[in-house]
Amino acid sequence: MIKSDRKFLLLVLIPIFIEAMIFLVIPILGTIGISFTDYNPIAHKMDPVGLANYKGLFDDPKFVIAFKNTLVFTIVAVGLNIIISLTTASMICQLKSNKTRSFFRMIVFLPCIAPMVASAVVWGRSIMNTKTGLLNEIIRMFGGHGIAWTGDAQYVMLSVIIFTLWADLGYNIILFCAGIDSIPGDVYEAADLDGCTGWQKFRGITLPLLGRTTTFVVLMTLISYFQMFAQFSVLLFKDGPQNSGLVLTSYIYKTAFVYKEMGYAAAISVVLFLLILVVSLIQQRVNKVDWEY
Amino acid sequence: MKEIIGGSDFKKRLLIFCILLIVSIIIVLPYVWMLSNSFKTTMETLTDPMHIIPQEPTTAGYEKVLTKSPFFRWLWNSCFVTGINTIVILFTSSIVGYIFARFNFKGRNFLFAMLLFTMMVPAQVTMITTFIIIDGVGLYNSVWALIIPSFVNVFGIYLCKQYCEEIPKELIESAKIDGAGNFRIYWNIVIPQIRPALGALAIFTFLEYWNDYLNPLIYLSSTDNMTLPLALSYFSTQHSTDLSATMAASALIMIPAAIVFIIFQKQFIKGLALTGMK
């Protein structure tokens, strides 16, 4: 290696390496390490406790609820997200005019650029409000009774899922649109000549040829929904009645930064990490599959 | 025959158009509601919520936000954090991406694999130890706590590396023969070549830090130091009885981003499709 190259590499990589060590690598190892202690900065505790934090998890009713809620939220919300965004994307792509297509793409993406917190404040205070919220006003207009969207344990998860879909669908619609646009047009022309209906084309061409995009979108959305936090924190009051809206992310935040039980919080965060790791490993597997068509 | 097919096709497209129009209305309605409530009197938001056009339009809500809260302070904090992070991340990602793409050195693959691995780890894991480090060096309750840990962005490095691998070898070789140094090659040849990637990265970084809520929530405790999303959630609990002021604050936070998006929407959507990542 030439001397000047060497100097350039060292000059750039050493500071980057130090920064990556301090803020990317050490935090991972550190948190795993802390999860084997009872670290609590307020109570001045920092003793190794072995696996006690992990053993205690499934005796902790709040953890069990948070774990269950996280799975329910992620699976239901991702499932609905994929169905709705794929349908919407294929509808947008069937429009002839470029201008109308980009108009609809812009509209569906609009909520994605707004801060989730701001959207959650708007939804919580003026859309899902029990007394004066838009949703209940509409229900009353049709003669129904208003629902306590975020105040009734039965509806809390539903409310968060509806909000999340509104706020987040745009990303996947754009990705699916890009996927559909990359399918060669002559495949559809051939199908037209064979007299295929729209649904047949969707099932026979779009879905299979969109395999790679779909797998990618499903896995990325899973990973991102496991980590959703802002809407649970802002839309709900104290995790909803009977912890009906408590998820792992908000439980980790509370345990670590409100109760300062950092050792225990670290153990919960490692569980969340393992959940995400499983999905990530599946993704790497899938990436290696040959998708050529 | 052709005309008949064209006719049914047209009907189908009209139907799709109408469905999409309804979807669009559902998407836009909360914004309309927010704006409508922000111009109402507090009384009207309680007694007459269904009128979209306010009966006695007022800007009292906006005045309350701008005069009774350090709104411009919050705006400045958000601009400061987002601005510095975006610039630094664009620089570090492109130069490190270039190095990983074009230089062979010992430990390169290991280093890159290590960076990629950290991408899989959720913020909830790293935030506990990062908080201890940041608190330890005395940056708790400082906006620098949102800046200093963000300098290395693995997604950015990955994206730039992909693009740097596409740069024709001859371009760099001939610059070397002309006697250009490494930094000069990076600045004059690599940067212009990977501009689309940098555009997309700028958008993602901007959105990530402008909208971030979790980190400000952990690190910032005094009202004056808050960034906009955290400040809004604080403001909304402080003024829980004043819907019109809260909606005015939400509008003030959303509208600028929405305008930027509508102007640059082509680049936004292209950039997103280009990288296929969030």
pLDDT in tens, A164-190: 999 999 989 988 988 888 888 788 888
Q: A88-113 burial string, b = 16+ CB within 10 Å, else e?
A: bbbbbbbbeeeeebbbbbbbbbbbbb
The answer to the question of residue B168 being in a domain is yes
The yes/no answer to whether this complex scores an ipTM above 0.90 is no
HSE of A263, CA atoms in CB hemisphere, 13 A: 21
The answer to the question of residue A16 being in a domain is no
Q: What is the crossing angle of helices B2-38 and A134-141, to 10°?
A: 120
The answer to the question of residue B129 being in a domain is yes
Query: Are the C-beta atoms of B67 and A149 separated by less than 8 Å?
Result: no
Beta bridge partners of A37: A48
A215 pLDDT more than 90: no
Q: Residue B39: which of B235, B243, B255 has the closest Cα?
A: B243
A69 pLDDT more than 60: yes
Q: Residue A205: which of A219, A226, A189 has the closest Cα?
A: A189
Nearest to B246 among A13, A115, A125 (CB): A125
How would DSSP label each residue in A79-138? HHHHHHHHHHHHHHHH-S-HHHHHHHHHHHHHHHHS-HHHHHHHIIIIIS-TTT-HHHHH
- Do B266 and A234 count as a contact with CB atoms less than 8 A apart? no
Residue B278 confidence (pLDDT): 40
- CATH number for the domain that contains residue A179: 1.10.3720.10
B13 pLDDT more than 90: no
The answer to the question of residue B52 being in a domain is no
Tokens describing residue B200:
């997309």
Query: Does residue A87 belong to the interface with chain B, where contact is any CB pair within 8 Å?
Result: no
B-chain CB neighbours of A224 within 8 Å are 278
Query: Which of A96, A101, A122 to probe by mutation at the B interface, max B CB count within 10 Å?
Result: A122
Q: Is B257 helix (H, G, I), strand (E, B) or coil?
A: helix
CA B5 – CA B22 distance, rounded (Å)? 26
Ramachandran quadrant class, B247 (left: phi over 0; alpha: psi -120 to 50; beta: rest): alpha
Residue B276 confidence (pLDDT): 59
- CATH number for the domain that contains residue B139: 1.10.3720.10
Most confident of A95-109, A180-194, B45-59, B211-225: B211-225
CA A22 – CA B194 distance, rounded (Å)? 29
- Number of structural domains chain B divides into: 1
Q: What is the pLDDT of residues B189-246, one digit of tens each?
A: 999 999 888 988 888 898 889 999 999 999 999 999 999 999 999 998 888 778 889 9
The residue type of B93 is S
What's the domain range around A51? 23-288
Q: What is the pLDDT of residues A244-290, one digit of tens each?
A: 889 999 999 999 999 999 999 999 999 999 999 998 888 888 777 65
The answer to the question of residue A261 being in a domain is yes
Tokens describing residue A267:
């153990």
The answer to the question of residue B113 being in a domain is yes
For residue A238, how far is the Cα from the chain centroid? 21
Q: What is the pTM of this model?
A: 0.89
Confidence of residue B66 (pLDDT cuts 50, 70, 90): very high
The answer to the question of residue B120 being in a domain is yes
Confidence of residue B262 (pLDDT cuts 50, 70, 90): confident
Mean confidence (pLDDT) of chain A: 89
Length of chain B: 278
Query: Does residue A205 belong to the interface with chain B, where contact is any CB pair within 8 Å?
Result: no
- Do B23 and A256 count as a contact with CB atoms less than 8 A apart? no
Which has more confidence, B266 or A243? A243
Query: Does residue B181 belong to the interface with chain A, where contact is any CB pair within 8 Å?
Result: yes
What's the domain range around B221? 71-275
The answer to the question of residue B24 being in a domain is no
- Number of structural domains chain A divides into: 1
The answer to the question of residue A13 being in a domain is no
Q: How wide is the angle at C-alpha B101 spanned by C-alphas B98 and B102, nearest 5°?
A: 85
